[in-house]
Amino acid sequence: MAAAASFRCCFPGSAIGGGFIRPSSSRRGRHAAAVVAPPPPASLGNRTRVDFPILHQEFDGAKLVYFDNGATSQKPYSVMKTLDEYYRSYNSNVHRGIHALSAKATDAYEGARTKVANFVNAADSREIVFTRNATEAINLVAYSWGLSNIKQGDEILLTVAEHHSAIVPWQFVSQKTGATLKYVGLTKEEVPDIEQLKGLLSNKTKIVVVHHVSNVLGSMLPIEEIVTWSKGVGAKVLVDACQSVPHMPVDVQKLGADFLVASSHKMCGPTGVGFMHGTFEILSSMEPFLGGGEMIADVFNDKSTYAEPPSRFEAGTPAIGEAIGLGAAIDYLSCIGMDQIHEYEKELATYLYESLISVPNVRVYGPAPSQTDHRAPLCSFNVENVHPTDIAEILDLQHGVAIRSGHHCAQILHRTLGINASARASLHFYNTKEEVDAFIDALKDTIHFLTSQH
């Protein structure tokens, strides 16, 4: 019950912690009446969704079911309140002023950096670089580290399941340097073939670029093992953690990767800000990505010297309010506890998968959940002889269910699977099994509607 008590004190007025049953301190008499058993505690989804105002709306009488969290998450009251307070009370540029507003803004901005560092267990807050998003973070590594360390004849190793943001920057590097891109394929279980990855590593491999959790397959890669194998041949490792950091505990020191990137907007924070983690040693060895104010030490007529990391990689006025908002999102997630979020989402993920495969003519991509291998709370799927965009459109128009359709920025993966597109339902901790049931009922109705048209 200690955990329940700590939940309640997170944010005054927040619903987090509601639904827990506490033992009564009053003594019962010898002839006390029989006590009715209390109802089971509400799920984490039911306890937290009240903190997300956007979820409480209807479309033509249908309650919104938001299952597009793989694209972006919703924001709790506390994050919106923090953003509002910043712009109302202490909006100012950071690092450059001695007045009270600037000092307060700087403290909050750097405080957010410390929160990110603690959240992913970085050794030093200077190892956290704020970027516009995870895409910019990967480009930062590609241009600042890649172009300086990769040459003709070198190899860049990726998997076919990577997001375009983790592929296209390295195509640029390959085109500029003459390096070769190599791709790891899928196993029959439709997960990246780790044994093939291990076999492709050589002294020509300079960097391995992999996702932590796939945004299409819902599978998770063994990053610690990949890092160990890669370091054995002297290769760096970049981890796209956009689909893991919001859903499970992530410890960058334990993972051991050289670079790890994530986005605020997928972890209940604002859009327009993300972060990169890199060891201070490697960041100190890298050239700046962008030039301008803030990233310099001294500027002369013909040259400049550069600030130490992370300032070296944060040219110009940063996304101050957004970074502070990210800090508030981390407070919210930490209050719940990432272990609890992960455990709940594993249960939700299995329920979603099993519910979907029970629908006739539905094909779900990626591995089946098991006792040892858990899926992320997302399923990409297709319905036989029905286009996924038609499914997504009818679910929205007739049932108020929001899912995504298309290639999910993973065209190479879709071609590997032999398809052009898929529908995707992706959940977060504020979703519920009841919503999964509503989605499945709506999907069945949608399939009937679309197939009966023929």
Catalytic machinery residues: 409
Cβ-based neighbour number of residue 403 at 10 Å: 26
Can you read off the two tokens belonging to residue 175?
């085109």
- In Å, how far are 52, 57, 128, 431 from 74, measured between CA atoms? 7, 13, 24, 11
Residue 401 makes CB contacts below 8 A (sequence gap 6+) with 62, 65, 67, 395, 438, 439, 442, 443
Can you read off the two tokens belonging to residue 345?
């989402």
Contact (Cβ atoms closer than 8 angstroms) between residue 16 and residue 48: yes
Contact (Cβ atoms closer than 8 angstroms) between residue 130 and residue 273: yes
Contact (Cβ atoms closer than 8 angstroms) between residue 204 and residue 210: no
Look up tokens 């996304």; give the residue: 319
Q: How far apart are CA 149 and CA 282, in angstroms?
A: 12
Residue 15 makes CB contacts below 8 A (sequence gap 6+) with 47, 48, 50, 51
395 Cα distance to chain centroid: 25
Q: Which of 350, 326, 338 is nearest to 244 (CA)?
A: 338
Cα torsion 32, 33, 34, 38: sign: negative
Q: Cis check for the bond before 310: say yes or no (omega within 30 of 0).
A: yes
Q: Which of 140, 141, 108, 114 is nearest to 128 (CA)?
A: 114
Q: How far apart are CA 183 and CA 186, in angstroms?
A: 10
Contact (Cβ atoms closer than 8 angstroms) between residue 245 and residue 120: yes
Burial readout 247-268 (b: 16 or more C-beta within 10 A, e: otherwise)? bbebebeebbbbbbbbbbbbbb
Give the three-class secondary structure for 103: helix
